[in-house]
Amino acid sequence: MEFILNKIKEYNKILIFGHVRPDGDCIGSQYGLARIIKETYPEKEVIVTGEASDYVSFIGSPKMANDEDFKDALGICVDIANGDRVSDQRYKNCEYTIKIDHHINVDSFCDYEYVDENSPACAQIITEFFIKFKDELKMTAKAAEALYVGIITDTGRFKFDSVKRETFNAAGLLLDYGVDLGYIDNKLSVETLESLKLRGYCLTHFETTKAGFAYLKMPREIIDEFGVTNEEAANQVTAISTVKGCPVWALFIEYPDDIRIRLRSRGPVINKLAEKWGGGGHAKASGASLGSWDKLPLFLDDIDEIVNDYKNNNPDD
């Protein structure tokens, strides 16, 4: 962390990158770190670049940087496991690059990398970075808000078993800087009417395998029919997260160039399977690629094997 701080001091221009299809932790980490740096070093130019997220747009909405912004710049990639998932591939044009992440480290794509696989959120790592140097760095209410949103969205509001004491310590410190819990809860809990109707569709159209895998197919025509964004459609993975007897569930969502798998678990480790299917992630929250619908039976065979093994070893779960 000290090396990262010294690099931040060294550069007058800093670009902060996120991943494609960003979530709350990605956007929260980007804006949390950017606002800490800008508040501490107001003379520096800090640019948040990449894709935006409607879901957490109240934190901020990144825009693509200009080509000239990369000259003599430090690039910091946050919450990104694989280089090909950086939403602005021009990060390679920065003079020096740093990765700060919490995913399983399978791809080294920056000059310097700080990865804590035990952290449930990248925003927690950024908060711990601030805590370590809090006598030197400055926090704002908006930076604290961004980091808090990052932590609670990637921990399912502190429900996942990746949450540790350090997670609550980090969240508690952010509250001291003026985080408005009611405001954040209102922003994250409110859905559009279209999204709510889609959730009803999800609850009546999901399927289960004999082993106990719950899944939902979201073809393009359904997304278009309900008039929702890709992000709203992808968030429906939570709609089937509480099916008794189904410790693993997934949403198969069709994009113009791929069918992405949002894979979740309450018990079995799933990231190795995700890697086999062109993805990766955490032990119990991963993403993968189906490629085409005709490959779905093969994926179901793979996941059923994992679910059966888990249930044989955990009969009372």
Is residue 184 classed as helix, strand or coil in its secondary structure?
Answer: helix
Domain 2-188 class? alpha beta
For the cut 90, the answer to whether the pLDDT of residue 104 exceeds it is no
Is residue 312 classed as helix, strand or coil in its secondary structure?
Answer: helix
For the cut 80, the answer to whether the pLDDT of residue 167 exceeds it is yes
pLDDT for 317 equals 67
**Distance between CA atoms of residues 132 and 142, nearest Å:** 19
pLDDT for 315 equals 77
pLDDT tens figures, 62-96? 999 999 999 999 999 999 988 989 999 999 999 99
pLDDT tens figures, 268-299? 999 999 999 998 888 888 999 999 999 999 99
Which residue bears the tokens 């140097």? 133
User: Could you tell me the pTM of the whole model?
Assistant: 0.85
Extents of the domains making up the chain: 2-188, 193-313
**Distance between CA atoms of residues 198 and 196, nearest Å:** 5
Which CATH number, 3.10.129.10, 3.40.50.300, 1.10.274.30, 3.10.310.30, labels domain 193-313? 3.10.310.30
